[in-house]
RNA sequence: AGCGGGGUGGGGAAGCUAGGUUAUCCCGCGGGGCUCAUAACCCCGAGACCGAUGGUUCAAAUCCAUCCCCCGCUACCA
């Protein structure tokens, strides 16, 4: 066995919670980049497994199951199947997509726990918790509301009062109520829980984290913050029925906390795979050979503490030889049209809807292009359409189509010999070589956005070469040379199809098909065969090439924004919220944005077709402003001329009755007592600021 | 309020960790070319006091300090 083959990789994506169908944000923050990376490693010829599955334990699953009137096991199975099918639709090429509730996950979690127990990293502590007599369950903090002991707010949550923002303990609440049944049949019960002794493990965790100099800023920053604040013991059990049992006498009523069992399921799911393929021991080859295995984990930044601190600590505490993460690639957040994805407000796109609208590769490409690697990024329908129309269709699709069509029209579809002495051809080969080099460099640094841009540049490079060589002219003057041009481009296209495979696997298949190659080959060829300008010689391209992408029309974009919620809707809801609230405090900096000055009304005239609006010209010192004001029923134009009044000068201009109004008169009063000008006590020059 | 991320030509981003020739890319805009290709492609051009102020330095978008603004998280919704 060569040294190369003992090097193994485990790629994991954060386990999506079983509860319902996920947003695009969930895809882009872990599942998709993990898939792209695992595919990349396969393109490098590495021994790699890509592990993921649903995270099924915990209270939310139980509650959602209640709501759907299903036993929790059935509920989880249902959503496991649904999510699995969706991810297959996105061509996520898992080695195994399992479940955290499978027997293997129970087994490994219990095994890990027992080792920690033997090694003295687990202790018991008694605690008080609220218990709902109706639901017959202990209530997690979030499932209790009651009156705040500090401010008397009646709907304070178990952990914090929204009104006075005091941090609370659920047992402090006055008249606590259960949010599951809504009743107040609650009592305080003593309960004991098991804790993982993180303070004891801290030095080892710190030493390990400090060694990870190659982690991205998001990951390392969050991990160091936790360590610097000091680790506290963390409960690993809950009072639930749904979950993994604690394998100790006297603790049979307890279940492990989700945060504790979920990451163990990466191992558990690998075991599920191992059992399924009939090699029950093979999981150890990956998870218990830390010197030769690299664990690469993809997750959203909220998950970083669990993967960078808690889980490694947990594994270290076993004193066993489990693999710890080599890379934890944390992602920031994806927003939707400038705001957040929101289930309740029905804003944003769910993964199942996405697949009904467009092929998976459209999403894969755009999402990786805007992957929130170093900052939050925004999903925009216009951006999506642009990426599809310009990059995928205009650049890649066009290149593939034009070369295949041209070969069919002029050379019976046969690819010829590439003349490698031709300097322009040499330049094209060099460009592909260089592209490959950069691609590997960026992928090895887990830089997905940058890799996508390298791909896009290569697609353009193909078009440039095609344009520069103008085979449609060559074919008339020197048919042989035209054939060289087309053959070179065909080989180039083959190369970029392989490079593009991790990102747009289905498209790469189609490209291979159009080139007359076996589509499944594109998932097998390794990167060292990308730069190859010989292998297609004599081959025949497809006589009926498949169109790679469909254009997304402007009209369609507008419809999508309308259907899924766009900016307009966001504005409205924001205004609504504000309108319902009392005026809150503003900071001085916000106040200082207001530019209010004394202005003198120079002219005033009625606006045709309006009974209240007057068009005023106001001298604000530096200039004359046109302001439309609704005071026509209070004053005649003549009365207004010469009046001095405070004017809000930097108000966003707005068209009223077709006239641009560039400011606002400030007056006092209301409709009962009338409206009055605020006239300065002493005459001041026009344009004097009001502070 | 606390925490995290960010402010770079009209829009979106790269560059900032290891300061240094004309600040890079995509879209848009202006002009030109091509007609093989899903009006898709290619070339040229205009456009940036790199959030503000102060500092370090021969030299700062890049380092330090202060401030301002935006977004997200703080709800087992990633």
DSSP sequence for A280-334: TTHHHHHHT-TTTEEEEEEEEGGGHHIIIIIHHHHHHTTTS-PPPEEEEEEE--E
Q: What's chain A's average pLDDT?
A: 85
Residue A605 confidence (pLDDT): 75
Which nt is closest to the CA of A16, judged by C1'? B78
Which nt is closest to the CA of A29, judged by C1'? B78
* Phi and psi torsions of A388, nearest 5°: -70, -50
Distance A306 CA to B60 C1' (A): 39
ipTM: 0.91
Distance A16 CA to B53 C1' (A): 46
Q: Which two tokens stand for residue A570?
A: 């966001």
Residue A26 confidence (pLDDT): 86
Nucleotides of B under 7 A from a protein CB: 1, 3-6, 12-15, 25-28, 33-38, 40-43, 67-69, 71-73, 75-78
Distance A469 CA to B39 C1' (A): 21
Distance A685 CA to B30 C1' (A): 45
Number of neighbouring beta carbons within 10 Å of residue A641: 14
Residue whose CA is minimally distant from B34 C1':
A467
Residue whose CA is minimally distant from B76 C1':
A60
Nearest of A388, A351, A344, A378 to residue A567 by alpha carbon: A378
Residue A659 confidence (pLDDT): 62
CA distances from A412 to A409, A480, A550 (A): 6, 14, 26
Nearest of A509, A461, A477 to residue A410 by alpha carbon: A477
Which residues of chain A have a pLDDT value below 50? 1-4, 567-590, 655, 670-672
Place of tokens 């502070």: A691
Residue A341 confidence (pLDDT): 79
Distance A297 CA to B24 C1' (A): 31
Check: CB of residue A140 under 8 Å from CB of residue A212: no
Residue A156 confidence (pLDDT): 72
Residue A651 confidence (pLDDT): 60
Which nt is closest to the CA of A14, judged by C1'? B78
Distance of CA A5 to the CA centre of its chain: 34
Number of neighbouring beta carbons within 10 Å of residue A425: 22
Q: Which two tokens stand for residue A436?
A: 């490959």
Distance A565 CA to B48 C1' (A): 34
Residue whose CA is minimally distant from B39 C1':
A394
Residue A161 confidence (pLDDT): 64
Which nt is closest to the CA of A344, judged by C1'? B77
pTM score of the predicted model: 0.81
Distance A595 CA to B54 C1' (A): 26
Distance A471 CA to B60 C1' (A): 49
Distance A681 CA to B70 C1' (A): 40
Going edge to edge, which strands form the sheet with A144-147?
A156-157, A144-147, A174-178
- Residue by residue, DSSP assigns A625-652 as EEEEES-TTT--HHHHTT-EEEEETTSP
Residue A646 confidence (pLDDT): 80
Place of tokens 């004001």: A629
Which nt is closest to the CA of A343, judged by C1'? B77
Residue A652 confidence (pLDDT): 53
Which nt is closest to the CA of A475, judged by C1'? B36
CA distances from A498 to A93, A442, A517, A541 (A): 16, 16, 12, 17
Residue whose CA is minimally distant from B1 C1':
A165
């Amino acid at each position: 066995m060569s040294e190369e083959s003992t090097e193994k990789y485990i790629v994991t994506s954060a386990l999506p919670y079983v509860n319902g169908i996920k947003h695009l944000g969930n895809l882009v923050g872990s599942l998709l980049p993990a898939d792209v990376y695992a595919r990349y490693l396969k393109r490098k010829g590495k021994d790699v497994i890509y592990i993921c599955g649903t995270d099924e334990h915990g209270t939310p699953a139980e509650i959602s199951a209640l709501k759907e009137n299903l036993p929790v096991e059935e509920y989880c199975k249902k959503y496991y199947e649904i999510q699995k099918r969706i991810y297959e639709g996105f061509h996520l090429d898992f080695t195994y997509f399992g479940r955290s509730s499978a027997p293997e996950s129970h087994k490994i979690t219990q095994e890990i726990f027992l080792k920690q127990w033997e090694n003295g990293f687990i202790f018991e502590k008694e605690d008080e918790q609220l218990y709902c007599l109706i639901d017959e369950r202990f209530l997690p903090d979030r499932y209790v509301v009651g009156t705040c002991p500090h401010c008397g707010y009646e709907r304070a949550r178990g952990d914090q009062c929204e009104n006075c923002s005091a941090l609370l303990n659920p047992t402090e609440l006055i008249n606590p109520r259960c949010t599951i049944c809504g009743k107040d049949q609650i009592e305080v019960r003593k309960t004991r829980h098991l804790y993982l002794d993180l303070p004891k493990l801290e030095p080892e965790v710190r030493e390990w984290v400090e060694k990870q100099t190659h982690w991205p800023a998001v990951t390392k920053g969050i991990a160091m913050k936790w360590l610097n604040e000091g680790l506290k013991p963390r409960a690993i059990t809950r009072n639930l029925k749904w979950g993994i049992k604690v394998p100790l006498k006297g603790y049979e009523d307890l279940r492990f906390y989700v945060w504790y069992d979920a990451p163990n399921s990466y191992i558990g799911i690998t075991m599920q795979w191992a059992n399924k393929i009939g090699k029950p021991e093979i999981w150890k080859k990956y998870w218990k050979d830390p010197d030769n295995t690299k664990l690469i984990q993809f997750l959203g930044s909220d998950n970083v503490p669990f993967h960078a601190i808690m889980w490694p600590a947990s594994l270290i505490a076993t004193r066993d030889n489990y693999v710890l993460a080599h890379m934890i690639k944390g992602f920031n957040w994806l927003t939707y049209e400038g705001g957040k994805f929101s289930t309740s407000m029905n804003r944003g796109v769910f993964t199942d809807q996405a697949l009904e609208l467009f092929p998976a590769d459209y999403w894969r490409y755009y999402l990786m292009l805007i992957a929130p690697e170093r900052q939050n990024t925004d999903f925009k329908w216009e951006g999506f359409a642009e990426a599809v129309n310009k990059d995928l269709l205009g650049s890649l699709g066009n290149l593939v189509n034009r070369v295949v069509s041209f070969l069919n029209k002029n050379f019976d579809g046969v690819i010829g010999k590439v003349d490698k002495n031709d300097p322009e051809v040499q330049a094209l080969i060099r460009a592909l070589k260089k592209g490959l080099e950069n691609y590997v460099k960026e992928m090895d640094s887990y830089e997905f956005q940058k890799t996508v841009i390298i791909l896009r540049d290569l697609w353009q490079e193909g078009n440039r070469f095609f344009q520069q060589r103008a085979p449609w002219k060559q074919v008339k003057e020197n048919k042989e040379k035209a054939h060289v041009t087309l053959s070179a481009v065909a080989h180039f296209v083959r190369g970029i199809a392989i490079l593009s495979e991790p990102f747009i696997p289905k498209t790469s298949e189609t490209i291979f098909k159009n080139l007359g190659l076996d589509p499944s080959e594109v998932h097998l060829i390794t990167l060292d065969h990308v730069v190859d300008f010989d292998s297609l010689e004599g081959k025949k391209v497809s006589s009926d090439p498949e169109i790679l992408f469909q254009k997304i029309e402007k009209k369609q974009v507008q419809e999508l924004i309308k259907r899924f919620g766009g900016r307009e809707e966001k504005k409205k809801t924001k205004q609504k919220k504000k309108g319902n609230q009392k005026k809150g405090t503003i900071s001085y900096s916000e106040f200082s944005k207001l530019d209010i000055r004394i202005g003198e009304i120079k002219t005033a005239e009625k606006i045709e077709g309006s009974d209240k609006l007057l068009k005023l010209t106001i001298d604000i010192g530096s200039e004359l402003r046109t302001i439309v004001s609704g005071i026509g029923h209070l004053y005649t134009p003549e009365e207004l001329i010469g009046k001095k009044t405070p004017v809000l000068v930097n108000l966003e201009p707005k068209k009223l009755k077709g006239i641009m109004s560039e400011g606002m008169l400030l007056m006092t009063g209301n409709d009962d007592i009338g409206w009055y000008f605020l006239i300065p006590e002493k005459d001041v020059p026009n344009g004097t600021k009001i502070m």
